[in-house]
Amino acid sequence: MNQDLTQQWLTEIQMLKEQMAGLESDRDAAWESAQKWRQLYNTEAEQRRTDAQLAQQAIASLKADLHKLSCLEMETLAAETPVRAIQQEIEQLISVEELQAKLIVLIKERDRLLQALKTEQDNHAQTRNSLTTALGDAIDSLTRERAGAEKESR
């Protein structure tokens, strides 16, 4: 009986060792998976930081351009020479009809430029939406591809 009990204990110890080895293997696999996910997260985070930095640079550049344009516009309006040139052009118009005709031409030109600006803004918005959609699709595709690769590696 003592020998049976010893054999039973040895069998139990052997089973526990096998279970422990299996659990250690599972733990190692989970650790490797966590490491892979951590690396993917870090890569994605770095890409996001880079994208955010590029966007901030683009915003700063656009703000600088806007500031330059507004300064140029103010300088143009404030400078005496262009104002004088405009006044001289107006003074050359002899009659009210000529002034009205010039005004009509300028209003048409303004409307054409406003329409061109609106078209450009619409095209820009459409391009931005298309690029955002394409980026989202690429990220989804990459996520699916990575998930498939994870499944294959297991």
- Position 150 scores a pLDDT of 77
Share of the chain above pLDDT 90, in %: 33
The residue count of the chain comes to 154
Question: Residue 78 above 60 pLDDT?
Answer: no
Confidence of residue 11 (pLDDT cuts 50, 70, 90): very high
* pLDDT at residue 72, as a whole number: 62
- Give tens-digit pLDDT for 103-125: 888 899 999 999 999 999 999 98
Picking from 20-34, 64-78, 81-95, which range would have the lowest pLDDT averaged per residue?
64-78
Cα 84–chain centre separation = 47
Check pLDDT > 70 for residue 80.
Answer: no
Question: pLDDT digits over 12-70, tens only?
Answer: 999 999 999 999 999 999 999 999 999 999 999 899 899 889 888 888 887 777 777 76
DSSP string, 121-144: HHHHHHHHHHHHHHHHHHHHHHHH
Q: Does the predicted TM-score (pTM) go above 0.85?
A: no
111/118 Cα distance (integer angstroms):
10
Whether residue 146 has pLDDT greater than 80: yes
Handedness of CA 70, 74, 79, 85 (dihedral sign): positive
| Identity at 78, one-letter amino acid code | A
